[in-house]
């Protein structure tokens, strides 16, 4: 259970947040950055984490931005998923995040909380992987911006004391043709069996996946096979499946065999739709 003695802080600036983290760490307070808090509560009740201090980043204005700045869309990490959906500045992100939990939970779940969560689905990362977005992070050495492909490998590779401020996506990606499909075995809410997001960029299809492996991913090798227009569609899909970059999940949501069956049908569905647009 979470301790009743947890200290709570709400810094107003990036610098104050990072300085506070390392100050509290020096006092052995076990600080954790906090925005929505849903996963902290869940893991705390299971005694999987025991933070001594929470640093709420929702008062930091850079973490709450959701707007176009010239040719880029800036999306703050402290934004609730429902806010992103309602504003709908990034339709693919809206469509992908809309299936995360239920509406009530998404009022609390923030973008950064989903992206950096310990639950392996983390579906909100898929649009950013597809769009080669740039991630702005804060830490002990200040603020830096890195291509998502450099900082995300199965999870965000954040050093101790770092947190995501916002993510920048080029405007040209935002209105591209896309498909986002979430497949569940039987329920309308709850954990998905498989989520696939795809966009069409200059007649090439890009794909990102969640729920297939124990981590979300985008595979260039799978994309290469799926874009080989000289092959039949079944052959393209079969060859792509041979490049899945990890073990296929086998759990209570569905067996690995069933996941692959659903994946094959979903890829066929997406390719037929996007290649016709």
3-state secondary structure the chain: CCCCCCEEECCCCHHHHHHHHHHHHHCCCCEEEECCCHHHHHHHHCCCCCCCEEEECCCCHHHCCEEEECCEEEEECCCEHHHHHHHCCCHHHHHHHCCCCCHHHHCCCEHHHHHCCCCCCCCCHHHHHHCCCEEEEEECCEEEEEEHHHHEECEECCCCCCEEEEEEEEHHHHCCCEEEEEECCCCCCCCCCEEEEEEEECCEEEEEEECCCCCCEECHHHHHHHCCCCCCHHHHHHHHHCCCCCCCCCECCECHHHHHHHHHHHHHHHHHHHHCC
pLDDT for 77 equals 97
Query: Which residue ranges form the domains of the chain, and what is each CATH number?
Result: 7-56 (3.30.43), 61-173 (3.30.465.10), 176-275 (3.30.390.50)
pLDDT in tens, the chain (277 residues): 445 578 999 999 999 999 999 999 999 999 999 886 566 555 545 454 568 899 999 999 999 999 999 999 999 999 999 999 999 999 999 999 988 878 888 888 999 999 998 888 999 999 999 999 999 999 999 999 999 999 999 999 999 999 999 999 999 999 999 999 999 876 555 578 999 999 999 999 999 999 999 999 999 999 999 999 999 999 999 999 999 999 999 998 899 999 999 999 999 999 999 998 7
Task: Give 149-191 pLDDT, tens digit per residue.
Answer: 999 999 999 999 999 999 999 999 999 999 999 998 765 555 7
pLDDT for 102 equals 81
């Amino acid at each position: 259970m979470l301790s009743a003695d947890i200290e709570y802080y709400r810094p107003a600036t990036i610098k104050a947040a990072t300085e506070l983290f390392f100050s509290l760490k020096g006092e052995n307070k076990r600080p954790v950055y906090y925005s929505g808090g849903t996963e902290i509560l869940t893991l705390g009740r299971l005694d999987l984490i025991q933070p001594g201090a929470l640093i709420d980043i929702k008062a930091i204005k850079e973490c709450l931005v959701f707007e176009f700045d010239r040719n880029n869309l800036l999306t703050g990490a402290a934004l609730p998923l429902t806010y992103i959906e309602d504003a709908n500045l990034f339709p693919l992100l809206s469509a992908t995040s809309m299936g995360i939990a239920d509406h009530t939970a998404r009022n609390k779940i923030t973008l950064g909380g989903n992206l950096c969560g310990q639950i392996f689905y983390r579906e909100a990362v898929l649009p950013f992987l597809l769009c080669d977005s740039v991630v702005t992070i804060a830490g002990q050495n200040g603020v830096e911006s890195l291509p998502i492909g450099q900082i995300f490998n199965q999870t965000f590779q954040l050093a101790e004391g770092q947190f995501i401020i916002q993510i920048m996506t080029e405007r040209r990606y935002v209105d591209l043709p896309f498909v986002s499909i979430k497949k569940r075995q039987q329920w309308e809410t709850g954990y998905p069996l498989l989520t696939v997001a795809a966009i069409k960029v200059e007649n090439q299809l890009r794909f990102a996946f969640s729920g297939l492996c124990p981590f979300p991913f985008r595979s260039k090798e799978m994309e290469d096979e799926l874009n080989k227009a000289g092959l039949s569609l079944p052959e393209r899909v079969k060859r792509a499946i041979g490049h899945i970059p990890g073990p296929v999940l086998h759990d209570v949501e569905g067996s690995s065999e069933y996941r692959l069956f659903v994946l094959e049908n979903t890829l066929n569905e997406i390719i037929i739709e996007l290649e016709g647009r």
